[in-house]
Structure 1
Amino acid sequence: MSKGKYIRGASRRSLLQQFGAAAIGISFAGGLSACGRQGGGSERVVNFYNWDTYIGPTTLEDFQAAAGARVEMSLFATNDELFARLRAGNPGFDVIVPSNEFVTRMSQAQMLMELDHSKIPNMANLLPEFQDAAFDPGRRYSMPYTWLVLGIAYRKDRMPAGFVPNSWRYLFDSPQFSQRLALLSESADLIRLCAKYKGHSVNGIPDAMLAEIEQMLIRQKPHIKAFHEDDGQDLLAAGEVDIVLEYNGDIAQLMAGPGGEAFDFVVPTEGTLINSDCLCIPTGAPHVDDAHAFINYLLDAEAGKKITEEIQYPTPNAAVAALMGPEYQSNRVIFPPAEVMAVSEYGAFEGDDKSRQYEEIFTRINAA
């Protein structure tokens, strides 16, 4: 899934221009530190591969002050990109943030290390429903970082009077917002939401329905301004589109910033896809002990509060939730209504063949 660049009225790129990448411990070049390997070197380093705008403003520096290890953070835009980067072997990452389905996929492919829970005592801070997970029984390979839902974000002044776009139809099967809409480029999420629109589960989609979805999106293609990877809310904020498929936390960030009252977010009545982004240690991580320490730190109540205040995503951490104020706890964008959550689902990994099938379908749609 894509996490966007918008933070409190400034993109991560503009922050980099203002302060410099080194000042906030971020690397875009993909070069990973070879220093600080366990048992050698004078400097301890954690190489962190994360979504954009998905960390607190001082989290990296705070961890270094607390633990003595510097964090080098590189960014990816989709789970597909993350998986492709590590498929041929770990280039040196210590902590990564795959979504639930990819935790299963990567663990089955032996791309993740089993976690040592004795080194993550802050696991006790998690809400009971996140202590275990169907996609990772016993939390052998992952700790939950956030949970999130996909929905429709829109500019209120560009909608007909009193109109709320509360169906996936307006994105997938309607010319109403021709060349003023943007869809997510992550193949599995997009296809599963189309199945939801058609009244099917996001899982176990039959081939006949996949063919229908492909043709539906090819018909819709002339009306689509962009398939975005990491900038859906930026397109919306810049006025390039009026309506976009996005994650709730990204739009909560946008709405909390300057001019945020111009935007709104709705989860369609058909239901949506729920995701959980997780903290994992990839096989071959060079700094395993500090990787565990970093994951444990991210699950700390005060550290998690700073992260949650910044990224505006739902937290699976009970200790963090207890510290958040009513503006967060009652935010209907961050926490969608119970009636739509009741008809929403997690996507399950259904094998490499199915994943490749989704990717091939999206490639054909994008090329149409």
Structure 2
Amino acid sequence: MPSRPLIAASLLSLSLALPAPAQEAEKVLYFYNWTDYYPVELLAKFTDETGIEVILDGYDSNETLLAKLQAGGAAYDVIVPSDYVVPGMIADGHLMKIDAPGLSNFVHVKEAFADPDFDPGRQYTAPYLWGTTGIAYDSAQVAGAELEQSWKVFFEPQPEMEGKIAALDISSELILAASLYLGIPQCTESNDDAKRILELLEAQKTKLKLYSADSTVDRMASGEVAMHHLWNGATARATAQRDTIRYIYPVEGTPMFRDNFAVPVTAPHPENAKIFINWMMAPENAAAVSNAIAYANAIKSDEFLSDQWRGMEAINMPDAFSGRLVATQDCGPAARELQDRIWTRLKG
């Protein structure tokens, strides 16, 4: 076995022999996140503090993320899956163990997010942001300026709202909303249930302006649509530009999502990924994300949060609505196949 000095000398010689780009390649992080779900300016701070350059790419749904991983073409270091897809990703061998509790900043994680059902012990994920999916509407474009706290206003809108409504172009989100409205289990495997969901969505389709999960904030803030099936954080950011926007927590059930940092098994820079994830669990950095994009984080960071969001109902849900929250579930293969069939028929 070579002596330690000889090993060190050999490594130094190898390092000097490598061209500069090869040496610098280790100071890179490939970050794959939801579109408009991270403040770019915060990446500059991370680079300044760690020397690691971040290359950010975006996607519009968990389905897009899964397809990328399943195709084997994803050379990303950090990804952001939602709670309900994590168990399947673990079972399919897509995620690397990171032992989040072993990272120094995990001590700042709020208790409610430290040991989730979808990743017991946080072996594969670390918490990022959480929120809800409900209905945003412009009260200035609504008769009476107020709408019922129900999915009914979205699926069976008033005649004057027709053609002014946008639905998220995400199968899991729209089918779950329809299931909640109809009182159908979100992971149903019943063909009769699927028929009822499809009939509701097909009847609604003629009343929509578009399906889209991109540019939602601009679309709502500009008044392009009067109602949007939308996340609470996007609603809050739109409200900051157009103060007549309101947010509905549907009484039949309001989906709650918990998004997470994870590292694919194919990550080219897994150690850089752990450095980034640990850095993001520092309270001031977690709060910087919440302040920029208006979603609640899972870190003890309240002292750093902006007053702008504290008084906005889309972000600070009234306690009386807590019983409406419905956690998204990891549906089995039969339920997912049924949902795929509904979506194909709807969008075909």
- Runs of 5+ unmatched residues, structure 1: 1-34
**Secondary structure, counterpart of 2:209 in structure 1:** strand
Residue 96 of structure 2 corresponds to residue 96 of structure 1: no
Q: Who is 1:125 aligned against? A: 108
Residue 169 (structure 2) aligns with: 185
Question: Is 1:48 paired with 2:43?
Answer: no
| Structure 1: distance between partners of 2:108 and 2:261 | 15
Amino acid at match of 1:353: A
- 1:56–1:308 Cα contact (<8 Å) kept: no
Q: Distance in 2 between matches of 1:328 and 1:233?
A: 16
In 1, Cα distance between equivalents of 2:333 and 2:262? 20
State the TM-score, normalizing by the size of structure 1: 0.84
In the other structure, the counterpart of 2:312 is 331
SS of the equivalent of 2:253 reads coil
Residue deviations 1:190-210 (CA, integer Å, cap 9, x gap): 111111112344344643222
Structure 1 residue 295 corresponds to structure 2 residue 277: yes
Deviation of 1:251 (Å): 1.0
Q: Deviations over 1:165-197 (max 9, x none)?
A: 421112123453211111112111211111111
Task: Supply the AA of the counterpart residue of 1:366.
Answer: K
Please point out which of 195, 198, 209 is paired with 2:193.
Answer: 209
Partner residue, 1:231:
215
CA-to-aligned-CA distance 1:189-236 (integer Å, 9 cap, x gap) = 211111111234434464322220111111121111111121333322
Q: Distance in 2 between matches of 1:120 and 1:51?
A: 24
Kindly indicate which of the two structures has a greater share of residues assigned to helix. 2
Matched, 1:350 2:327: no
Match of 1:21 in 2: none
Among 142, 146, 149, the residue aligned to 2:129: 146
Match of 2:11 in 1: none
Q: Is the 8 A contact 2:187 2:332 kept in 1?
A: no
Cα distance change of structure 1 residues 206 and 272 upon mapping to structure 2, 3 Å threshold: farther
- 1:149 counterpart SS class: strand
Relative to the length of structure 2, the TM-score reads 0.88
Alignment match, 2:144: 161
Distance 2:209 2:192 in 1: 27
Contact 2:189–2:334 (Cα < 8 Å) also in 1: no
Matched, 1:134 2:117: yes
Q: Residues 46-96 of structure 1: CA distance to partner in whole angstroms, max 9, x if unpaired?
A: 000011222234211111111111000001111111111111215310000
Taking the aligned partners of 1:362 and 1:240, their CA distance within structure 2 comes to: 25
Q: Secondary structure at 1:224's aligned position in 2?
A: coil
Match of 2:263 in 1: 281
Structure 1 distance, partners of 2:145, 2:139, is 9
Alpha-carbon contact 2:77-2:263 (below 8 Å) kept: yes
Give the direction of change, closer, same or farther, for the CA distance of 1:175–1:163 in structure 2 (3 Å limit).
Answer: closer
Deviations along 1:325-353, one digit per CA (max 9) or x if unpaired, are: 44433431112222322122111112233
Larger CA deviation: 219-228 vs 114-123: 114-123
Q: Which moved more, 1:233-242 or 1:295-304?
A: 233-242
Greater than 6 Å deviation, 4+ residue runs: none
Cα contact 1:152–1:165 (8 A) shared by 2 = no
- How has the CA–CA distance of structure 1 residues 301 and 236 changed in structure 2, closer, same or farther, with 3 Å as cutoff? same
The one-letter code of the counterpart of 1:139 is R
Q: Work out whether residues 119 and 293 of structure 1, in 8 Å CA contact, stay in contact via their aligned partners in 2.
A: no
Secondary structure of the equivalent of 1:365?
A: helix
Q: 2:295 matched to which residue of 1?
A: 313
Identity %: 27
SS of the equivalent of 1:83 reads helix
Query: Partner residue of 1:365?
Result: 346
Aligned-residue RMSD, C-alpha? 2.1
1:224-275 alpha-carbon deviations (Å, 9 max, x no partner)? 1111121333322333321110000001111123xx2132212122221100
Aligned residue for 1:284, secondary structure, equals coil
Correspondence for 1:197? 181
Structure 1 residue 66 corresponds to structure 2 residue 25: no
Contact between 1:57 and 1:307, CA under 8 Å: does it hold in 2?
Answer: no
SS at match of 1:250: helix
Pairing 1:266–2:255 present: no
Q: Which amino acid aligns with 1:253?
A: R
Q: Give 1:170's aligned residue.
A: 153
Which residue identity is paired with 1:357? Answer: L
Mapped contact 1:101–1:349 kept (Cα < 8 A) = yes
Deviation string 1:275-310 (CA, Å, 9 cap, x unpaired) is 011100011101010000001111111111211110
- Decide whether aligned partners of structure 1 residues 133 and 329 sit closer, same or farther in structure 2, where only a CA change above 3 A counts: same
